[in-house]
Chain A
Amino acid sequence: MKSRKIWALKGIIVALFLLAAPSFGAAGEPPATVRIDSLSHLYDGIDFDHEMHVGVEEDCSVCHHHVFGDGVANKQCARCHSDSKGTSSVACRDCHVEEPFTLEHMMKIEADPNRYHIDITGLKGAYHLRCLNCHIEMDAPSECADCHERTDIGDRFYRSGKYAPTGGESGGHHE
């Protein structure tokens, strides 16, 4: 029973994909692909075709904000970051934390009353908000399984596939 509960807890931590830092070499070349699979659970990891996406969107700041120090597309961000210097790391996970709702993280954010960025999305949220919104906008694949295959644990979590309800219950809705 206890192990089931642990599995349940694990199941709820949905595929918090961790984007490997696009490790810029001496030449500053972006990676061709980025494996997004850390913490994948309900869904398998994916090989993000970074090279292809660079071809689709030439302005890096659309995804990477101001981290390269060469301006930022978003006007709201440009108010402060139009001439910001490049940052030492450009990985998503360095700003978008895996677990944004822990008390420790909250305390860190709230410790400085003058802090502007009190609303940074978590890593999972950052990926989906960035990827999915653009995919829908550009009519690219936007179903869950279009990007990542669901695992057996995922099927059980969604009560789908071989774990689908056997019936007998009719809606279970009471007013």
Chain B
Amino acid sequence: MSGISRRKFLKSTVVAGGSAAAAMSSTKSAFAMKEFEGYPDSMGVLVDLTRCIGCRTCEAACNKEHNLPEPAVPFDNFSVFDQVFHGGKQKRRPTEKAYTVVNRYETKAQGAPVYRKIQCNHCSEPACLTSCFVNAYKKTKEGAVIYNADVCVGCRMCMVACPFGVPAYSYDSALHPEIIKCNFCYDKRLKNGQPPACVEACPQDALTFGHRKTLVKIAHERIRSNHKKYVDYVYGEKEVGGTSWMYLSSVPFDQVGFNTTLQKHPILDNTKSFLGIVPMVLGIWPAMFLGFHLLAKGGKGEKEDKSKNKVEVHGE
């Protein structure tokens, strides 16, 4: 190894080290963002399944509030609870015509059926938002996850990304199809500090609107003061990093259609650590391989040339 090449190698190593340090520091700040636990004044809704009577008033209120299309059957028709899809495995889901639906579950533990309202849970760190490459989604400081159809290109990645299977797509619209989901009544109500239409309409106070951090306290207090009635768990407090809409239940959550296998940290975290490495790779690798290249070329360059010539001679 010649002196010149060693000097060159050391030089390039210093460059590589410097860029690695720079890359590390930028990665560190990227990791720090992981601790985001939602906006401090985020609003939310606590859904208490022990109070829901399946009256579908929330569905009617939502339909009216958002001028949604006419339903197939009146909202006081309870035959919809018998509807099943995909060979009986799937109950009703929010659609492009209904931002929220209520399903009925006959559980073994409970004599009476349990009803569960479904809508967008408005995650603190929404997977739909992070999956969207045109930034059509926005998490507002009030807690709503809202969607802008104007920039949406219709890739439907958000539908795949959502851990709760909430976003629906208006397949029926040939010219302006868009993603449709519950928007927490953001434009008409939430941003003015008003509760969503479904909450206001609920006759049973099965839906409690408030600051998310207060709702967490209320939820645990309800469990504590009536521990025989409730399952000791607040669904949505931790799921996928926390959601604005949370649930209390008297029966195990997996018996009433909840996915109890979801991770407790934001879905974004699964890719965040990988994406943090990318700038480091881009910074270090060129310098490191340049160093290797110079080292190899400087030390063995002449020998290689000779052996190359020999091969060529053999070839002739």
Q: Measuring CB to CB, which residues of chain A are less than 8 angstroms from any residue of chain B?
A: 8, 11-15, 76, 100-103, 106, 109-110, 118-119, 121-122, 124-126, 128-129, 132, 136, 144, 157-161, 163-166, 169-175
Contacts and interface: CB of A to CB of B under 8 A. Distances in A.
Interface string B24-57: 0000000000000000000000000001010111
Given A159-B75, A165-B74, A172-B71, A101 B96 contact: no
A148 B238 CA distance: 41
A112 B92 CA distance: 42
Contacts of B57: 14, 158
Contact of A129 (B69, B97, B205): B205
Contacts of A76: 225-226
By Cβ-Cβ distance, the 5 closest A-B pairs, closest first, are: A125-B205, A101-B195, A160-B74, A103-B193, A101-B209
A165 B71 contact: yes
Contact of A172 (B69, B203, B205, B208): B69
B65 interface: yes
B204 A125 contact: yes
Interface in B177-214: 193-195, 197, 199-205, 208-211, 214
A144 B57 CA distance: 11
A102 B210 CA distance: 9
Contacts of B204: 125, 128-129, 132
Interface stretch (B15-23, B215-223, B304-312): B215-223
Contacts of B64: 8, 11-12, 157
A151 B97 CA distance: 25
B93 A170 contact: no
Contact of A101 (B60, B74, B199, B218): B199
A126 B204 CA distance: 8
Given A124-B205, A157-B64, A173 B92 contact: yes
Interface string B45-87: 0000001010111001101110101111111110000010110
Nearest to A157: B60
B75 A160 contact: yes
Contacts, number: 125
B169 interface: yes
A175 B86 CA distance: 9
B200 A106 contact: no
Contacts of A12: 61, 64-65, 197, 200-201
B136 interface: no
B205 A121 contact: yes
A119 B75 contact: no
Contacts of B203: 14-15, 124-125, 128
11 contacts: A11-B64, A12-B64, A12-B65, A15-B203, A106-B210, A110-B214, A119-B221, A126-B205, A159-B71, A160-B77, A172-B69
A159 B195 contact: no
Contacts of A125: 51, 202-205
Contact of B222 (A8, A119, A158, A166): A119
Contacts of B60: 157-159
A12 B65 CA distance: 8
A168 to B, nearest CB: 9
B171 interface: yes
A159 B210 contact: no
Contacts of A14: 57, 61, 200-203
Most buried by B among A11, A101, A171: A101
A110 B202 CA distance: 23
Contacts of A13: 200-201
Contact of A165 (B65, B73, B85): B73
Contacts of A15: 203
A172 B57 CA distance: 19
B42 to A, nearest CB: 13
Given A119-B218, A159-B74, A165-B72, A174 B201 contact: no
Given A119-B208, A125-B205, A170-B72, A8 B200 contact: no
B168 interface: yes
B95 interface: yes
B69 A118 contact: no
A142 to B, nearest CB: 9
B81 to A, nearest CB: 14
A18 B11 CA distance: 83
A162 B55 CA distance: 19
Interface string B86-117: 10001011011110000000000000100000
